[in-house]
Structure 1
Amino acid sequence: MHDHGLGSWMAKRRLKSPDKTALICDEQQLTYRQLADAADRVSELLWRRGIRKGDAVAYLGENSPQLLQVLFGAVQLGAVFVPVNTRLAPPEIRHVLTDSGARVLIHDPEFVDRADIGDVAECIVHTIPTGEGDTAVPGLARLIRMTDAGHIDAEVSLEDPAAIVYTSGTTGRAKGAVLTHQNLTWVALNCLVDYDVTSGDVALMISPLFHVASLGMGALPVILKGATLVLERGFEPGRALAQIQRHGVTMLSGVPTTYQLMADHPDWAATDLSTLKKLTCGGSAVPTRILNAFEERGLSFSQGYGMTETSPGATSLSPDMTRVKQGSVGLPHFFTDVRIADEHGAVVPRGTVGEIEIAGPNVFPGYHGLPEATASAFTADGWFRSGDLGYLDADGYLYISDRLKDMIISGGENIYPAEVENAICDIDGVSAVAVIGIPDDRWGEVPVAVITTRGDTRVDTETIRTLLDGRLARYKLPKRVEIVDELPRTASGKVRKADLRARFAR
């Protein structure tokens, strides 16, 4: 076998566990043999359309078996898979397609207008809708059936690009992070070690696979181990609870909001959750109220930290340490290293806040077509500069202070918004919060909390300041509280703090 990357996985799974259920999506079930055969046909289909090693194959669609068939079919050729976020606006989609140089776009039919395919780029040679399509424009499912099976064993090394995943673009245009076969293999191995993934697991995927967390730390470890994936096209809390009970789900990953919505759902108390063993949560720290709700059902979380550039896992906090190290994002993954450096690049003692730097085989080699951005993202000795501030405690556990660019300097004091946000999140009635710095004639900057509330809850500046007084230094208390219906977010769910600063800087 010449393929040493992800493209070899399907052939090996077909050999080792051909009749094991690989995927469940709605009423459709695929064994590993069926998934591998479909990936082979996609590979042949792309080959016939002129796709070769290094060519980009874009996919714009929701979670489905076809997404994974295209992923594995593309990488078998040494082609580069480009998952496109379905929540992006048309100009953002055009940027992803043109920047990646995608030669093929495979898309769910409902996104054809969003992609504005007719105008998108000269690089797109073929567009293929998912599903059946019709005689005039056959869809991917029909084309797969019409294509002969046959495994194409291309020359692929672990150092070759496997995917280009675009960052959420909180500042400027989204950058394409090139993830190699090595990156995605090692992040999957980290998950196998640190999350104890077994071949008997049934993992419910409620987050979209175009996000690197769902793909790199959700789907790929499960497939590598030969476990079962239950794919959901979108998240609906009642349906997620029903799927857990119906399929005996053992693994679930999400963000604090998804877990809160499940715990708040009317079916929460009546749903049988006895099969659930492993819950992972990323994006931000799990608020105390969510920990309480799940612990009352005998469930604890693994939490973690990472980013697109680390494929994405960097650290994990085991469930048994959730309370002991509450607020921490855990220890570095087994095959990953983390250190803290000051503004001059010198490594600082434990307990000192500085920039988080990450190294390991899961760290990407650079941004697509952006050598200067790539060079600035790494230290002279090859560590990735995260742009996040944090510290390691005496036991080596990582705590996130904030994004370097979001730090507020008020009267010469550093304020890390994440610390204030975590405190406000524990206040009854607060559903979400973002703390921003706005200009102030006296202090330079002052913190302002922008929050959303649940139900008829009413909070104001004095209420928040009173509840936080004594928990936080007074200079950290928000000088103003603004109530909004919804926080503006990027397609990947990150709060657009720049939008909030522009709105509330007065």
Structure 2
Amino acid sequence: MITDLKINAEAKKRYYRLGYWGTKTLCDVWDEQSARFANRTYVKDDLGGNLTYGQVDRLASRLATWLKTEAGVQNGDVVTFQVPKWVEFCIIYVACLKVGAVMHPIATNFNADDLNYAFGLVKPRVYICPTKYKAVDYEAQFRELGCDVTRDMTVLLIDQHDAPRDDSTCAALTDVLARCAPLDEPSPSSSDEVACILSTSGTTGRPKAVLLTHNNILFSERAYVSVLDMTPDDVCWMPSPLNHATGFFHGLIATMLVGASTVLELKFSAEDAIDLINREGCTWSHGATPFVHDIVAYMEKTGKRAETLRFYLCGGAPVPSIMVDRAYALGFLLCESYGSTESCPHIYVPLDKCLHWDGNWSGIAYKGIEVRVVDEKHNPVPLGEQGEECSRGPHQFVGYLNDPENTAKALDDEGWFYSGDLCVMDEEGRIRITGRKKEILIRGGENISVSEVDANVSGCPGIGNHATIGMPDQRLGERICTFVVPKGDARPTVPDVQDYLRAKGVPKRLWPERIEYIDAIPYTKTGKIRRFVLQQELERRMKAEQEEG
């Protein structure tokens, strides 16, 4: 069992006293909701999977029996599952809750090297994966791993399309669900224990393993749905991967809290997404910027509409006002939602403020969560002054697994989590995220936020998706370079872009000095721009220019 958790003792007492935390676990809440909404659809996928709350509960109970009696899973053991956006994900996560296992969903694109690292870090009792998915043979990939990593692990294969090999020592999900009786005993876990390990989605280095308790997740998702006016009749369209907080917690846990349903889109395309939303009557969604960027562009181009979509909550990057306006013209609200795996989510734009704030603010804190803006020494800065965003509250993670050094850097003894994001706060408590501390370019000694440049360039004729980075310069250290995906046939030049920004009143110090065209902006799966990839591409192009004289 994971025991080295970083929780401020006084804060813990306060959260219990205020009712933010309680003694119920995720399994307790699931049991209540699955009984209440037994005959209502819980989850669908675009491959034809369709399960009610009752069906998920019954199938998960059978899998729970196998986990306990045949795989030897005990309370606090880790179960790692590498599952696409299939309905089976829900069977697995609920089964983990029933036996008190720590859920550890990982990305489907993890290769053998990634698995070796992840298994070495979390030491799972069970590993669950498909037999095959896309071009990956997961059973063969597992066999490539060293026995020192896998010796004490039991493997369960999701045999949707392919049976395990004849010589396989792995169990098969269809067999387990057919022969195992339902587990009929209460979950042994408690609300202050770790319920889930999620990997950070950083663009450099190895991901960190974020620890979240039952109380963390329940508070977070209750706060999340409390401002969305959701009912059991709402249907979520979920294009985000399920190994991250957006897809898992918002797409599946949040909907479970209100008895609503979720439709999973396995492989995103704007055309398929619009058809899926209309066919299933999806009313809302939460995802990264690229998803909404593509569906807005597709609707504008084709005239098609997502007829039932009321709002889209956008995370991963600031939302420019022009995107808010374009979405509203197409019939739905586009609101920013801000957080991270460690602090998920804690800032939101109220639906009734979406148009009024018009992308100028990332939002306000949920009730029960504190936010402040600090300097390099973690002292609060005056209102309106830029600093680092930090937060604390009942939603906050309780450390990185087996990583006390990074835990101490990110999470102080008073419970404040330092996000690494730059922001400003006004007198109403509204936060505007202005960029990452690491996403600052220094031009002639002046710090410039690349996110601020990106926001200003949005809406320039001929410019579609775009991202700014620093360009090496002998005189100034760095200059401003913006990579652009062209919109239509136009190819705006640097003077064209600067004329547009001049007319908007944007200060000259924030004007791009170089434009580079590219087919697509590289993103992580959670919508964060992989700026280091653009940096490498710029270096390649600049080197080619030098060689050409």
Contact between 1:97 and 1:120, CA under 8 Å: does it hold in 2? no
Q: Identify the residue that residue 145 of structure 2 maps to in structure 1.
A: 120
Are 1:386 and 2:386 an aligned pair?
A: no
Q: Identify the residue that residue 483 of structure 1 maps to in structure 2.
A: 517
Please report how far the alpha carbon of residue 300 of structure 1 lies from its aligned counterpart in structure 2 after TM superposition: 1.3
Distance 1:240 1:205 in 2: 10
Please report how far the alpha carbon of residue 192 of structure 1 lies from its aligned counterpart in structure 2 after TM superposition: 1.6
The residue type paired with residue 37 of structure 2 is S
Contact between 1:44 and 1:152, CA under 8 Å: does it hold in 2? no
- Tell me which of 145, 163, 167 is aligned to 1:134: 163
- Tell me which of 216, 232, 235 is aligned to 2:249: 216
SS in structure 2 at match of 1:485: coil
SS in structure 1 at match of 2:187: coil
Please report how far the alpha carbon of residue 272 of structure 1 lies from its aligned counterpart in structure 2 after TM superposition: 6.0
Q: Identify the residue that residue 9 of structure 1 maps to in structure 2.
A: 29
SS in structure 1 at match of 2:132: helix
Q: Identify the residue that residue 498 of structure 1 maps to in structure 2.
A: 532
Distance 2:116 2:455 in 1: 36
Please report how far the alpha carbon of residue 352 of structure 1 lies from its aligned counterpart in structure 2 after TM superposition: 0.9
The residue type paired with residue 517 of structure 2 is I
Distance 2:276 2:383 in 1: 43
Please report how far the alpha carbon of residue 114 of structure 1 lies from its aligned counterpart in structure 2 after TM superposition: 6.0
Q: Identify the residue that residue 243 of structure 1 maps to in structure 2.
A: 276
Cα pair distance change 1:120/1:224, threshold 3 Å: farther
Distance 1:199 1:335 in 2: 25
Please report how far the alpha carbon of residue 271 of structure 1 lies from its aligned counterpart in structure 2 after TM superposition: 5.0
Q: Identify the residue that residue 79 of structure 1 maps to in structure 2.
A: 101
Please report how far the alpha carbon of residue 153 of structure 1 lies from its aligned counterpart in structure 2 after TM superposition: 1.9
Distance 1:323 1:357 in 2: 26
The residue type paired with residue 533 of structure 2 is D
- Tell me which of 344, 347, 361 is aligned to 1:315: 347
Deviation track 1:172-216 (CA, whole Å, cap 9, x = no partner) reads 211111121112111110112122222221112122211211212
Cα pair distance change 1:236/1:188, threshold 3 Å: same
Contact between 1:301 and 1:318, CA under 8 Å: does it hold in 2? no
Q: Identify the residue that residue 296 of structure 1 maps to in structure 2.
A: 329
Please report how far the alpha carbon of residue 264 of structure 1 lies from its aligned counterpart in structure 2 after TM superposition: 3.0
Contact between 1:288 and 1:426, CA under 8 Å: does it hold in 2? no
Q: Identify the residue that residue 42 of structure 1 maps to in structure 2.
A: 63
Distance 2:310 2:523 in 1: 31
Distance 2:85 2:389 in 1: 32
Contact between 1:315 and 1:330, CA under 8 Å: does it hold in 2? yes
Q: Percent identity?
A: 28
Higher deviation after alignment, 12-21 or 354-363: 12-21
SS in structure 2 at match of 1:322: helix
Contact between 1:78 and 1:155, CA under 8 Å: does it hold in 2? yes
Distance 1:452 1:353 in 2: 30
Are 1:95 and 2:129 an aligned pair?
A: no
Distance 1:14 1:486 in 2: 42
- Tell me which of 33, 39, 43 is aligned to 1:19: 39
- Tell me which of 478, 484, 496 is aligned to 1:463: 496
The residue type paired with residue 475 of structure 2 is R
Distance 1:472 1:271 in 2: 34
Distance 1:361 1:88 in 2: 31
**What TM-score do you get using the length of structure 2 for normalisation?**
0.86
Distance 2:462 2:115 in 1: 36
Please report how far the alpha carbon of residue 242 of structure 1 lies from its aligned counterpart in structure 2 after TM superposition: 1.7
SS in structure 1 at match of 2:155: strand
Please report how far the alpha carbon of residue 401 of structure 1 lies from its aligned counterpart in structure 2 after TM superposition: 1.1
Cα pair distance change 1:308/1:356, threshold 3 Å: same
Q: What's the C-alpha RMSD, in Å, of the aligned pairs? A: 2.4
SS in structure 2 at match of 1:313: coil
- Tell me which of 410, 431, 442 is aligned to 2:475: 442
Distance 1:380 1:261 in 2: 42
Cα pair distance change 1:120/1:431, threshold 3 Å: farther
Distance 2:269 2:500 in 1: 33
Please report how far the alpha carbon of residue 266 of structure 1 lies from its aligned counterpart in structure 2 after TM superposition: 6.3
SS in structure 2 at match of 1:469: helix
- Tell me which of 141, 148, 151 is aligned to 2:181: 148
Cα pair distance change 1:480/1:113, threshold 3 Å: same
Aligned length: 504
Contact between 2:129 and 2:138, CA under 8 Å: does it hold in 1? no
Distance 1:249 1:409 in 2: 44
Q: What 5-or-longer segments of structure 2 have no aligned partner?
A: 1-21, 543-549
Distance 1:251 1:348 in 2: 36
Contact between 2:71 and 2:125, CA under 8 Å: does it hold in 1? no
SS in structure 1 at match of 2:318: coil
Distance 1:150 1:275 in 2: 39
Q: What 5-or-longer segments of structure 1 have no aligned partner?
A: none
The residue type paired with residue 476 of structure 1 is L
The residue type paired with residue 79 of structure 1 is A
Distance 1:129 1:3 in 2: 34
Deviation track 1:80-104 (CA, whole Å, cap 9, x = no partner) reads 1111112345433432233222232
Please report how far the alpha carbon of residue 373 of structure 1 lies from its aligned counterpart in structure 2 after TM superposition: 0.4
Please report how far the alpha carbon of residue 274 of structure 1 lies from its aligned counterpart in structure 2 after TM superposition: 4.1
